[in-house]
Amino acid sequence: MKRVGKPVFWIVVVITLLFTTLSITGITTQYGDVKNVIIKGVDQIRWGIDIRGGVDVTFTPESGKDATADELDAAAEVMRQRLVTLNITDYEVYTDDASNRIIVRFPWKEGETDFDAESAIAELGDTAMLTFRESDERDVDGKPSGVTKETVILQGADVQRAEANYGAIDNTGKAEWYVQLKLADSGKTAFADATTRLAGKDCISIWMDDTMISNPNVNSAITDGVAIISGNFTQESAESLANKINGGALPFKLETENYSTIDPTLGTGARDAMVLSGVIAFILVCIFMIVLYRLPGIVACVALAGQVGGMLAALTGFVPGMNSFTLTIPGIAGIILSIGIGVDANIITAERIKEEIRSGKSIDGAVELGYQRAFSAIFDGNITNVIVAIILMGTFGPPDSAFATLLKPLLFLFPASTEGAIYSFGYTLLVGVVANFVFGIFASKYMMKSVSRFKCFRNPWVYGGSRNV
C-alpha cells in the first residue's frame, strides 16, 4: 500500500472546509458605491422563476398562420430583445417548431411589487407587427383606414435601432427628450422617398398592430437613414416609444395560448423550507455517520461538506467571469438527492472497511481494501446517475445546449420540451455526482489513509471493529 503522510489529512481538511466556506460566503470588496466580487457566494445564485416568481407564457402565431422555423426563430429573437429593453435579463425563450409555439419564461423585475401577470404579458405582447404608415387616417375604432391602411412605408425589420436621447435638436438650443431612429439598409430608400414626398405636408404614423403609438410630422426629407421623433416627450414616454419600436420587428402577429404565474412569496417560502430541510438532513446524516462508523463517519462528513461546496461553486460560478446557473426548486431537490448519493458512497466504503477489520486485516490493509472493493459499486451507481442527468439536461434543456447536441440522434424519441425546472434538477444531480467523485471518493480516501497513521487511531474500534484489549 502506498503510504500517505500524516499532514495530508490536515491539508485536505483545511482546503475542503475553506473551499466550502468560501463557496457559501464569497469574498467581496466595497469602495464607495462600487462592489467588487472576488469570489461568488450563495448571494450570487440566480433563482429560477419558481422561486423568484414570474410568468410562464406560450405564444402561437395568429389563427391561420403556419410559421416556418426561420420565422419562429426571428420572432423569438425579437422576444429576447424586448425583454432586454425591459431590463429583464434572466429569461428563457424557446421555440417548438413541431407545434408552432414560442415559450417564454421571465421573472418579475427586481423590486417589483405589482404582480399583474396580464399586464406583464401585454407589455411583452406589444412586440406585435410594427409598421410606419403614411398619414394618420383612422376609422371609428381607431384602426388605420384610407391611405394609412393602404400605404405601409416601413416594417419593424427595417428599423435597426431606436434610442431615447436628451439634448438640443434645432437652432434654438433648447434641450428636450426625443427618439432617434437608425434605419437598416432595407428601409433607407423607402423612408427617404416618403419623407421627401411628405415633408411639410403630412405625418408618418407608427402603429403596433392596429394601435397607433405615435404620429410625428415630417419636417424635412431624411435621406441618411437617421431620423428624429420629437414633440413634448418626457423621459418615460421617450423611452417607452423607443422600447416599443425596438421590440416590434415581428414577422407575424402572436396570440397568447396560455400562461401561468408564480407569486414570489410562495416561491421564496418553498425555497427557504427546502434549504432548512436540507440543513437539518445534513446534520442528522452527519450524526448518524459519526455514531455508526466513528472515524470513517467523521471523514465522510468532511467529504460531504466539500461536496456541498463543489455544488454551490458550480451554481454561482465561484470566480468572476464564470457564468452562474439558474437554480430552481427541483434543482434544490437535486442537491439534496446528490448529498444522499454521497452518503451512500461513504456508507459502502465504511462498511467494507469494517468488514475487512472483522476478517482480521490490519488497519492499513482494511482501509486500502475497503476503498478498493467499494469503488466498483460506487462507480457503477454514479455513472448511471450521470447518464440520467445528461438525458434530463439534453431532453428538457435549451435546444442549442451541449447536452442537446450530444443527444440529438436520440431526441426524436422524446416530445419537444423546454422545462427549465427539470433541466436544473439534471444539472445539480450531475455536478453533485462529479463532486462526490472528487470529495466522497478521492479526497476521503487520502484523508482516511493519512489519519489512520496516527497512533491514537490505530485501534480497530474507531473503524467500527472490536476494541483492542
Q: What does the angle CA 59 – CA 62 – CA 67 come to, to the nearest 5 degrees?
A: 80
Res 157: pLDDT: 77
Res 376: pLDDT: 86
- What is the percentage of the chain residues whose pLDDT exceeds 90? 17
CATH 3.40.630.30 fits 129-249, yes or no: no
pLDDT in tens, 164-205: 888 887 777 788 888 898 998 888 999 999 999 999 899 999
Average pLDDT over all residues of the chain? 81
Res 249: pLDDT: 57
Highest mean pLDDT among 40-54, 220-234, 320-334, 426-440: 426-440
**What's the mean pLDDT in 204-217?**
85
124 versus 437: the higher-pLDDT residue is 437
410 by DSSP, 3-state: which?
Answer: helix
Q: Which fold has domain 54-123+250-260?
A: Alpha-Beta Plaits (3.30.70)
**DSSP assignment string, 257-282:** EEEEEE-HHHHHHHHHHHHHHHHHHH
pLDDT in tens, 383-441: 998 888 888 877 766 555 554 555 555 544 444 444 566 778 888 999 999 999 899 88
**Angstrom distance (rounded) from CA 286 to CA 291:** 9
Task: Tell me which of 103-112, 168-177, 252-261 is least confident.
Answer: 103-112
Res 80: pLDDT: 75
**DSSP assignment string, 90-131:** S-EEEEEGGGTEEEEEEEPPTT-----HHHHHHHHHT-SBEE
Place 150 in a pLDDT band, splitting at 50, 70 and 90.
Answer: very high
**What's the mean pLDDT in 155-160?**
82
Res 458: pLDDT: 85
pLDDT in tens, 261-294: 777 666 678 778 888 888 888 899 899 999 988 8
**What's the mean pLDDT in 440-467?**
84
Res 126: pLDDT: 60
**Angstrom distance (rounded) from CA 124 to CA 80:** 10
Cα atoms found within 13 Å of the Cα of residue 282, Cβ hemisphere only: 19
110 versus 198: the higher-pLDDT residue is 198
Res 398: pLDDT: 59
Res 5: pLDDT: 78
CATH superfamily of 7-45+263-463: Multidrug efflux transporter AcrB transmembrane domain (1.20.1640.10)
**DSSP assignment string, 127-173:** -SBEEEEEB--B-TTS-B-HHHHH-EEEEGGGEEEEEEEEEE-STT-
Res 147: pLDDT: 92
Which residues share a beta bridge with 228? 180
Res 114: pLDDT: 59
Task: Tell me which of 42-46, 128-132, 353-357 is least confident.
Answer: 128-132
Res 266: pLDDT: 64
**Please, are residues 156 and 132 in contact by the beta-carbon 8 Å criterion?**
no
Res 193: pLDDT: 92
Output the pTM of the full model: 0.64
Q: Which residue has the cell 407569486?
A: 263
Q: Classify residue 209 by its DSSP letter.
A: T
CA distances from 288 to 20, 291, 298, 378, 452 (A): 21, 5, 10, 20, 21
**Angstrom distance (rounded) from CA 23 to CA 56:** 31
Place 245 in a pLDDT band, splitting at 50, 70 and 90.
Answer: confident
- What is the percentage of the chain residues whose pLDDT exceeds 70? 84
**Angstrom distance (rounded) from CA 51 to CA 311:** 19
**What's the mean pLDDT in 292-301?**
90
* β-sheet with 159-168: strand ranges across: 159-168, 175-183, 226-233
- Reply yes or no on whether the pLDDT at 36 is more than 80: yes
Parse the chain into domains and list their residue ranges. 7-45+263-463, 54-123+250-260, 129-249
Res 469: pLDDT: 44
